[in-house]
Structure 1
Amino acid sequence: MLDNPPLLTIHRGFRRPDKALIEQFRGAQTSHLADAMDGRGALDYRIKPLDPSNASFVGPALTAFAYPADIVAMFGALSEAEAGDVIVLANDGYTRTAVFGDIAAGMMKNKGVAAFVTDGLARDKAGIVATGLPVFCRGIQLNSPAMNGPGVVGAPVTLGDVHVEPGDVIVGDADGIVVVPAVRLRPVLDRLAAVRAAEARTVRLVEQGATMAEGVRRMIEKATVIGG
């Protein structure tokens, strides 16, 4: 490396989707959204809500990348956040220190941030829950981070095995997080309606006593059977 990177780099100018379009995703079940995207889009299963009773949210992604054991990017994202944003902080899954705590949660809540999502760890769980901010992370780690940088805000990131662009729509519930690319919002909404309708039909069949889906039954009938 010829030169040290800057302490903080902020990329501005990305477009947030229309608020009315984002609102159409509110309350969507994350598993239904994954189905509407061909079984993809969900973050790694280990990224879960600290408070499952306060896990439902939707909003555009404000992305950030934090180097291990550092929170410069987290505070950089907070400075850039607009009301309704979801701060998505990639931390390379670092597990030796926390990257988030109750003070930052309170500040984000005060600014109107919709949720905080990271592939890193948090600390001060009780204090975070008390703020009412939905927070998703990989778990709790008591060790504290530093503020040395470098950090990046507003650039594409990858966390939980999913690529996230600034402005992508992030949807959360008690099961986890789904990322809907901004360039696919309307097609995914159309597919979501079909998924919901198919799910409702299947639920009705189960309530009426069904023990097997019709498509699966036909597959089993065509199976090669060996032995008695």
Structure 2
Amino acid sequence: MIEEPKALRIARDLGPDGTPGWRQPTAAQIAAFRDQPTGFVLDAMMGAGAMSAAIKPCAGLPDRLCGPALPVGNRPGDVLATLAAIHMVRPGDILVAGFDGYQGCAAAGDRVMGFLRNRGGAGFVTDGPLRDLTGLRGIGLPAFCTGLTPGSPVARGPGTVGLPVRCGGQQVETGDMIVGDSDGIVVVPFARIDAVIAALRGVAEAELSLDAQVADGLAEVGLISAMLESGEDIDWV
């Protein structure tokens, strides 16, 4: 006989008391990403780390998100693990709720967002839709999702809290940096945070310099100008 799985699997070093060993970026590391566009962060990772373009900021809510991930794994149409994760949230956490991409009902609504806000959470990301838009706007917490639906989920499990989860095409683990804006969501793996911060400085300098040149009237792309001048990589027909 196949043994029935437990309703919840929770990473042992998670807990409402903030058990030591729960990895989390430092305040300085989080601050390094806070005002950076997702495009800059992605470039600093050589183009890796973006979630699916289907995951967008929910209309009428703040579209800026920055903080460490608390990953949650749900079965399609089920939110038991998301509800359990509310009890594990630490101030500043981003709840990343994998929903297996299911679009048939909501992955959360205004009540879950209210719980999350009251626990000090900084935002919510899911690969499913949300519901209760009017209530969500009243809560005012940043939420990224695939759209809206009136459909209600169930809460039966099984599900996971604090274990790696796949969401929007990206692997998300506890303590990974989540950066979001109007362009979407980028995931920075915990082990790469310092390296990405170092690369980010150079990316930002280059991008801001080019922006200033365009504002001053620049009207050509250096790479294309060089190709046109040399003619080596162009076949004129």
Q: Which category of TM-score, normalised to the shorter sequence, fits these structures?
A: over 0.9
- Aligned residue for 2:179? 171
2:58 to 50, 53, 57: 50
- Any idea what the Cα deviations from partners look like across 1:13-71, whole Å, max 9, x if unmatched? 23112122212111110011001100111110010011365111211100010111111
- Secondary structure of 1:9's counterpart equals strand
Q: Which runs of 5+ in 2 are unaligned?
A: 14-21
CA deviation string 1:115-160 (max 9, x = no partner):
0000011101121121011000001111111111111000011111
Cα distance, 1:216 vs structure 2 = 2.8
Aligned residues: 227
CA distance in 1, matches of 2:42, 2:31: 18
Please provide the CA RMSD for this pair.
Answer: 1.4
TM-score scaled by structure 2?
0.92
- Following TM superposition, the consecutive aligned residue runs of length 4 or more in structure 1 with deviations greater than 2 angstroms are 219-227
**SS state of the match for residue 147, structure 2?**
coil
In the alignment, what sits opposite 1:142? Answer: 150
Deviations 1:78-135 (A, max 9, x none): 1110111000011110011111001111111111100000001110112112101100
| Separation in structure 1 between the aligned mates of residue 227 and residue 174 of structure 2, nearest angstrom | 42
Instruction: Please report how far the alpha carbon of residue 210 of structure 1 lies from its aligned counterpart in structure 2 after TM superposition.
Output: 1.4
For residues 100 and 188 of structure 1, what CA distance do their matches in structure 2 show? Answer: 31
Q: How far is the alpha carbon of 1:208 from its aligned partner?
A: 2.0
Q: What is the aligned counterpart of 2:86 among 74, 78, 86?
A: 78
Q: Using structure 1 for the length normalisation, give the TM-score.
A: 0.95
Letter in 2 for 1:165: E
- Is residue 50–residue 129 contact of structure 1 (8 Å, CA) maintained in 2? no
Aligned position for 2:236 = 226
- Partner-residue secondary structure (3-state), 2:73: strand
Q: Take 1:25 and 1:99, find their aligned partners in 2: how far apart are those partners?
A: 27
Pairs within 5 Å for 1:27-176: 27-51=35-59, 54-176=62-184
Gapped runs of 5+ residues in structure 1? none
Residue in structure 1 matched with residue 7 of structure 2 by the alignment: 7
Answer with 138-147 or 51-60: which moved more.
Answer: 51-60
Match for 2:12: what amino acid? Answer: R
In 2, Cα distance between equivalents of 1:84 and 1:68: 27
Cα pair 2:227 2:234 within 8 Å, conserved: no
CA distance in 2, matches of 1:226, 1:216: 14
Q: Report if aligned partners of 1:51, 1:134 keep a CA contact under 8 Å in 2.
A: no
Query: Measured at CA, do residues 118 and 53 of structure 1 come closer, stay the same or move farther in structure 2, by a change above 3 Å?
Result: closer
Q: Secondary structure at the match of 2:87?
A: helix
Percent identity reads 40
Q: State how far apart, in whole Å, the 2-side matches of 1:156 and 1:145 are.
A: 22
Query: Which whole-Å CA distance do the structure 2 matches of 1:54 and 1:3 have between them?
Result: 44
Shift of 1:196: 0.8
